[in-house]
Amino acid sequence: MSNAQQRLSQVSSHFGPGGKKGAAAITEKHPDDIVVTCALRTALTKGGKGGFKDTAGADLLAGVFKAVLNKSGVDPSSVQDIAVGSVLAPGGGATEFRAAALVAGFPESTAVKSLNRQCSSGLQAIADIANAIQSGMIDVGIGAGVESMSSQYGPGAVTEFSDLLESHPESANCKVPMGVLSENMAKDRGVTRASQDSFAAQSYQKAVAAQKAGLFNEEIAPLDVKWTDPKTGEEKTITVKADDGVRQGITAESLGKIKPAFAKDGSIHAGNASQISDGAAAVLLMKRSTAERLGQKILGKYVTASVVGVKPLLMGVGPWKAIPVALEKAGITKDDVDIYEINEAFASQCVWCVNELGIPAEKVNPKGGAIAFGHPLGCTGARQVSTLFTELKRTNKKIGVTSMCVGTGMGMAAVWVSE
């Protein structure tokens, strides 16, 4: 296809039948739409301390798979492929994730793969499934994400670089720890500690209010797991049904008393960064025509996604670069979007991206974000979808965007429409 033809195709995709464009075009319903019929997540729990501290990541995945099958009522044999995003699992988790699918009730005919695009792994898994459906490779699939940071987070998560990789300055920057990267970005872009602490406090406050109002209940699948009491050593069976990292009484002033984590004069600390946590999420996708044939209730549709690269040392700016690309591909503007779920890896990167993009604060993470309830690395991209759709439905709004910065200097974003 020539450049002119490619541009013509791109432009024409922004217009619906009858000359509609922008939000009016993407909210129209068509048989070939890639739709979401179920999106669920586990609760997110504190790494090493919370409800899932003794539960393997694959077991969390099996639990959320079972929940999707139960809630959607879809025939397991109709699901042809499952993609699972995960960052820390040895071997990518490929073996145990396939086993988890079988335990959950999928037949041997359902294929499974794992993938790792760091913090966007869950979203990349969904995009891979959507693309496979769009191309005709499969009819029904699940995009998922999981992480057990309790068991797999630590120094071993990044291997040593060879002399070849160390010899290239940008290459060597790819292994700089995330906290240092965020500190570097905050200084480079002039993001003050006060603005970070204020943003982080609001994340906690929004999450507390949402949890008290039961706004997470619809998206969370309760799981019964074994849990060992650290004080007595007694093993119990507990039901985990709420994010346990959400803390009341957090203010910008209380966060201001916490010592910086990466530099004496730094601005990044445990209170304005995402929590280390455990969790899983899964999203069931198919074409609208397939959903109607199978009697599946449609939550909304996947429109498009973008993935971009940025400087490794400024990885936090990823959403700032990825979101406009996704919006352009969808043929809409930032003002057409009702809710933005932007991952709060660090308050510094979120504050800068939101300000630079000119997004109204009330549209960003209305139920709080990863600072308040956690960022299980591979899970977040899938978790955001369940959080977004339940909030769009509750507030009777239509268009949403999910986005995150990605380790080593990348960003990803996707556009969604609720029904």
- List 38, 119, 350, 379, catalytic entry: 119
Task: Note if 174 is an active site residue.
Answer: no
User: Dihedral, CA atoms, 352, 358, 361, 367, nearest 10 degrees?
Assistant: -80
- List 38, 353, 375, 379, catalytic entry: 375
Phi-psi region of 151 (alpha: psi -120 to 50; beta: other; left: phi over 0): alpha
Task: Note if 168 is an active site residue.
Answer: no
- List 350, 353, 379, 405, catalytic entry: 405
How far does the chain reach from its first CA to its final CA, in angstroms? 35
* Residue 404 half-sphere exposure toward CB, CA atoms < 13 A: 28
Q: Which residues contact 371 (CB under 8 A, 6 or more apart)?
A: 199, 200, 203, 204, 271, 272, 273, 274, 275, 344, 347
Instruction: Report DSSP letters for 16-79, one per residue.
Output: -GGG-BTHHHHTS--TT-EEEEEEEE---EETTTSTTTTS-HHHHHHHHHHHHHHHH---GGG-
25, 291 contact by CB (below 8 A): no
What is the rounded CA–CA span in Å between residue 293 and residue 286? 11
What is the rounded CA–CA span in Å between residue 54 and residue 318? 33
* ∠ Cα 406 411 413 (to 5°): 120
Task: Note if 119 is an active site residue.
Answer: yes
Closest CA to 371 of 294, 298, 236, 273: 273
Catalytic residue IDs = 119, 375, 405
